[in-house]
Structure 1
């Protein structure tokens, strides 16, 4: 095992600010408005490529394609040869705002959200990209000057701190706190616009970024105190929902991160090839996982495994671990993911012997009982977890997929046991797509069964939730795409 430690006060201060700072606007907020998406009445002259729909799905094998159902609640842009895409503007104009919205990209799609129609946050399918840029998902798009030499026209763009984007067809969430430019009584600009903070999928990717002027593609190079939001419509298929705008009638002051005399330099762990760290893991609404193993990769996709339940408890994309809670001072033994996290529910054993397909899921606490046997490392340093349950020995290995698009998990048993089932997912909802892939938990991630020796997975109800189970005969191999 090789661990690389990196101390970054800048990242840690932003982290402290995020924890200690309620989302900007509680004092100065004048109005909170969630855009009505039962129709297009909140927008100015929408082109026919913009529609209100009930649901959308992407197809990972089809570029720039979304299928949809009729209904309301979602704003979808689907430009094609029949319906030319045009940008969409809100009727209302805004100065300082806090903006929240969820969005879903088609495979290979490109779009953008412009604050005041002038300052673009890039929206793009960058699934599998390790090195984010200013023109990839979450980037603040560059400015442009045709008079500059070739290769230098683009400038003042800002890449996100890390790529915490999800796969096409999955819902992602932005939270943006924006300060509009300031003008004196004569109309002269006296202060630039500022992205106070931009958070993507729960991770801060920009903090106090001053914008010297409009980004490329702006509706105007002349800046304004108030202007509409603009959704790019001439590039790719994209959908939006839950668009919430907190607007400010009078300009708010630029709020600084509060001083913290007790702040310490963080202890951050970069993932070298297959880094491994054992620690406690705290999960929301669940007891502390006290025998967790976190495995990192250079592809920037990592996971944590609960040895007490033989359960994959979380995967994440981005940076590896913050070990400050574990190693600073006396510590509390825990570590925390630094990227965009996908969790898999409360820890519960992954294999059970059921009397029938509808029997309640039970843990192996009687008879042979569950017995963890630790893990062994292969030649690449990848762990294979071992345990005994229901009279059979189990091997369980997780690998990162090519381009870091997710993980592949292979679970094998040493001998056949009657009525043995493996729980693939426990979620609020589960949808099987046309190609047999499963969309889990309101399109949070995909689950694809690659090989199960002929066994067929099935979805069932369980205490108001859904479970995805599959009989295990010998080996199950499946992928989680996120």
Structure 2
């Protein structure tokens, strides 16, 4: 007999230190934004094809693209600018190559593929990240989206021509017709004269928020590359001879050098009520040469100050961004401000950044000429905040990727890394209660449901609404199960779609009334728990006024999507006037040619069964909403639809 459980049985899961996610710091208020503080990337203008080499007629600039999900290779361009559309024919199927030449490169772009299509992004015109309609593929290969395509050599003999292809770690693809996002961190091959001394390397490839490649070396051009030699630089290329594809939002940073510190010396101090000026008027307790910046010379966790002096060399004239982070600045007011912590960075005798201790991070931009500059850094800690004592100093600038000027090996956190705890269902559905961050708000009544099919969701029980749906691994629970687990934060892992999370069922005073953001009043909304079916999947029950709602979310039998069925029961005494179900809410919602609805700029689709009542699509308070008025028949009503991504 099957016995479904709300998690606490470890035997239902595999828990491992998977490299696809990274653990958050203990007690972090919210997952940090990895791009916070970065200088903006350059954009390739898509008002015309002027940023590209002359190409064939298969490429055009459009305002958007749409697909027919029922037909192979059916991609249609829409009027306007901002989107590249490739529609290859036998007569015209050229590749699209930038006039820009690059070596080391960080590049991001959005792509849309119709059903059955095939394309690729070639770094330097030589090394391919595959683009393919891989929706629903259970075991992806190098030929699926996010794969590093194989190399090819006919001299290896029949059946052995292909080699070195690397499949993505998991299938993070979206359905045909949806925009998909790629982030690629690429390092070009390196040469000493004409002799290659380092292979090309994909440091990281992220597809739809999921790391699918990491530190993959490529010994030479991949198959079908237009250039078969290797060079220090080359163009970015979108493959044009295989299948239709749409591309937009191409942004990049190209790197040509690094900043360096030299002649570095330190002075360490102890004292009371220190600040940056205090440092230069007192005698250090120790001093000497330094190989890098850290708090190590202080040999203390509290009441210390350190001064560093030396030279900073930058390779290119331009604007540079510096970021100083003091991790001993706390979240509480008592652990903030210049009485607690501070730092000052000076270049050529001029203060360029003052950290006043009001937040952990401070940053400043400064114009520098290429060459050597006098460098001075002062920082201090006056008050204990746990054992935190790490300082980090970052620089980014023209041709210089964001790099650490501090010694990362001496960070206290570097000596005690936390291996992320990632859970994956094995044989049956599993339910896990936790807190989850959703759109900068901590949801404290979340139940996440893992399904062995790999289709999962998180549900806010207090609002009767799903907040995330995703495929792939289940949850990262490091903040729940590492140490004391005080934060109780879980995080979805995989190709995640962020849903609005507003109440699903509500009563509106009239057709133009605003949809509620929450239902905190128990007279409006009451939780009634859940019931498990024979397979162990929950049906979540609630009551909206006097209407009982049974909410069942199940993996869709037609593909890797989620089917949702709401059954509503109204007693004879209940009033159902103005009762609606919210199918979707977003920045924009557009009806597609096949009757589905694309939400949030084609991030996901809402599909309704054949013969279902047409929903109401409306604009309200700057957002689009898709509603279905509830119609009861002898006290019973059913609303069902699918979420496709």
Task: Give your verdict on TM over 0.5.
Answer: yes
Quote how far apart the aligned CAs of 1:384 are: 0.5
Q: Is the 8 A contact 1:43 1:88 kept in 2?
A: yes
Q: Which one of 585, 596, 609 corresponds to residue 426 of structure 1?
A: 585
* Counterpart check, 1:197 vs 2:204: yes
* Counterpart check, 1:212 vs 2:371: no
Quote how far apart the aligned CAs of 1:379 are: 0.7
Q: Is the 8 A contact 1:113 1:122 kept in 2?
A: yes
Q: Which one of 402, 411, 423 corresponds to residue 566 of structure 2?
A: 411
* Counterpart check, 1:177 vs 2:185: yes
Q: What does 1:270-309 correspond to in 2, within 5 Å?
A: 270-272=424-426, 273-286=428-441, 288-309=442-463
Give the 3-state SS of the residue equivalent to 1:218 in structure 2. Answer: coil
Q: Which one of 74, 77, 86 corresponds to residue 94 of structure 2?
A: 86
Q: Distance in 2 between matches of 1:366 and 1:188?
A: 72
* Counterpart check, 1:130 vs 2:289: no
Quote how far apart the aligned CAs of 1:112 are: 0.2
Q: Is the 8 A contact 2:458 2:467 kept in 1?
A: yes
Q: How high is the TM-score relative to the length of structure 1?
A: 0.92
Q: Distance in 2 between matches of 1:469 and 1:139?
A: 39
* Counterpart check, 1:319 vs 2:473: yes
Q: Distance in 2 between matches of 1:321 and 1:13?
A: 12
Give the 3-state SS of the residue equivalent to 1:302 in structure 2. Answer: strand
Gaps of 5+ in 2: 6-10, 26-30, 259-399, 632-636
Q: Which one of 603, 613, 627 corresponds to residue 444 of structure 1?
A: 603
Gaps of 5+ in 1: none
Q: Is the 8 A contact 1:427 1:466 kept in 2?
A: yes
Quote how far apart the aligned CAs of 1:365 are: 5.7
Q: Is the 8 A contact 1:52 1:74 kept in 2?
A: yes
Quote how far apart the aligned CAs of 1:69 are: 1.7
Give the 3-state SS of the residue equivalent to 1:147 in structure 2. Answer: helix
Q: How high is the TM-score relative to the length of structure 2?
A: 0.69
Quote how far apart the aligned CAs of 1:139 are: 0.2
Q: Distance in 2 between matches of 1:384 and 1:250?
A: 57
**Partner residue in 2 for 1:374:** 529
Change (3 A) 1:426 1:411: same
Change (3 A) 1:403 1:189: farther
Q: Is the 8 A contact 2:130 2:148 kept in 1?
A: yes
**Partner residue in 2 for 1:245:** 252
Q: Which one of 181, 201, 224 corresponds to residue 231 of structure 2?
A: 224
Give the 3-state SS of the residue equivalent to 2:182 in structure 1. Answer: strand
* Counterpart check, 1:466 vs 2:629: no
CA RMSD of aligned residues (A): 2.6
Change (3 A) 1:267 1:13: closer
Q: Is the 8 A contact 1:24 1:98 kept in 2?
A: no
Quote how far apart the aligned CAs of 1:42 are: 1.2
Quote how far apart the aligned CAs of 1:291 are: 1.6
Quote how far apart the aligned CAs of 1:227 are: 0.9
Change (3 A) 1:43 1:266: same
Q: Which moved more, 1:303-312 or 1:87-96?
A: 87-96
Q: Which one of 46, 67, 72 corresponds to residue 37 of structure 1?
A: 46
**Partner residue in 2 for 1:475:** 638
Quote how far apart the aligned CAs of 1:438 are: 0.4
Q: Which one of 176, 187, 190 corresponds to residue 168 of structure 1?
A: 176
Change (3 A) 1:462 1:23: closer
Quote how far apart the aligned CAs of 1:249 are: 3.2
Q: How many residues align?
A: 472
Higher relative contact order (CA 8 A, sep 6+): 1
Q: Which moved more, 1:241-250 or 1:132-141?
A: 241-250
Q: Is the 8 A contact 1:8 1:265 kept in 2?
A: yes
Larger Rg: 2
Give the 3-state SS of the residue equivalent to 1:46 in structure 2. Answer: coil
Q: Which moved more, 1:256-265 or 1:97-106?
A: 256-265
Q: Distance in 2 between matches of 1:190 and 1:281?
A: 46
**Partner residue in 1 for 2:482:** 328
Q: Distance in 1 between matches of 2:99 and 2:219?
A: 26
Quote how far apart the aligned CAs of 1:21 are: 10
* Counterpart check, 1:4 vs 2:17: no
Q: Distance in 1 between matches of 2:436 and 2:429?
A: 19
Quote how far apart the aligned CAs of 1:33 are: 2.8
**Partner residue in 1 for 2:68:** 59
Q: Distance in 1 between matches of 2:202 and 2:458?
A: 33
**Partner residue in 2 for 1:386:** 541
Quote how far apart the aligned CAs of 1:369 are: 2.9
Q: Distance in 2 between matches of 1:436 and 1:180?
A: 45
Q: Distance in 1 between matches of 2:222 and 2:23?
A: 25
Q: Distance in 2 between matches of 1:219 and 1:478?
A: 46
Q: Is the 8 A contact 2:23 2:478 kept in 1?
A: no
Change (3 A) 1:24 1:236: farther
Give the 3-state SS of the residue equivalent to 1:170 in structure 2. Answer: coil
Give the 3-state SS of the residue equivalent to 1:348 in structure 2. Answer: coil
Q: Is the 8 A contact 2:510 2:578 kept in 1?
A: yes
